[in-house]
A = this chain, B = another copy of it.
Amino acid sequence: MTSTAPAPASPTPSRTDELLTPLGRPQAGWRLRLYTIIFEADTRAGRLFDLGLIGLILLSIGVVMADSMASLRSEHGVLLSVLEWTLTGLFSAEYLARLLCVRHPWRYARSFYGVIDLLAVLPTYLAVLVPGLHALIDVRVLRLLRIFRILKLGAYVAEYGALGTALWATRRKILIFLTFVLMMVVVLGTLMYVVEGPANGFTSIPVSVYWAITTVTTVGFGDITPKTDLGRLISSAMMLLGWGTLAVPTGIVSAEFAARRGQEPTTRHCPECLSEGHLPSARYCRDCGARLPPWQRDPA
């Protein structure tokens, strides 16, 4: 990596900041002005740019979708092509502008959003240059992920962060749960393969495991169904099992959310040290030991 100097505007950047604003703001001049518009949303121009970009991304997704519908493509093929090229041009210009105004272009280009930005424009060019790669053109739908970058700027940031933190805190429990479920569907899928057999649609163990997942998650496509009495008995047990098992991840996430929600009423301030985050039932400041005024709840 050629540039190791820290960006002045963010002396202690967290990994998330790094991810979201890939490479520190420039210090002055037109590049700073461009940067505040493209990468930030604290100015009127910056907010307008973000709103416009969201609109263009959604329009672009609409074009990709319409392009995949045979009737629309045959009727409005030219319009869709013009729209696609216009949007690709705009996104290319935006990508170049980002590269231009950022302090470390190479680091930006290799960052998560730098790659997504490139993937948003590359397929259209490649589909023309290399006809064989036409199948790749639907990679354009990844443009949707660019909305995440903009979302961080809205009024929903706090909720977004809280949701993410809560879910992240449950990752170990969820992983253990998933391990159990995977073992369960492999064992039960194999059992059904033996019981029903290829004649009844359970053509192989992987297909039977796919069917077991279909059943345990209560999706139940019905493309494969048990035909024998024993198979139906085992299926019934699996459905009840899967139905009950669904309670586990829900319980994990609910408990996590509830525990965090219960700690929320923390707008109380300590009159001595001004610390926050006291529980409704606390009577003394947990940070300096001063007596807290009684909790005044809003008449909700």
Write the residues of chain A forming the contact surface with B, with a CB cutoff of 8 angstroms.
61, 64-65, 68-70, 135, 138, 141-142, 144-145, 147-148, 151, 156, 159-160, 162-163, 166-167, 172-179, 181, 183, 186-187, 190, 193-194, 198, 203-207, 209-210, 213-215, 217-223, 225, 229, 232-233, 235-236, 239-240, 242-244, 246-264, 274-292, 294-295, 297
Contact = CB atoms under 8 A, between A and B. Distances in A.
Given A176-B156, A187-B142, A205 B277 contact: no
A234 to B, nearest CB: 10
Contact of A289 (B178, B257, B278, B291): B291
Contact of A232 (B190, B210, B274): B210
Contact of A284 (B261, B264, B287): B287
B251 A244 contact: no
A206 B231 CA distance: 12
Contact of A204 (B65, B160, B177, B259): B65
Contacts of A229: 206
Contact of A249 (B244, B252, B290): B244
Contacts of A64: 190, 205
Nearest to A299: B267
Contacts of A176: 156, 159-160, 163
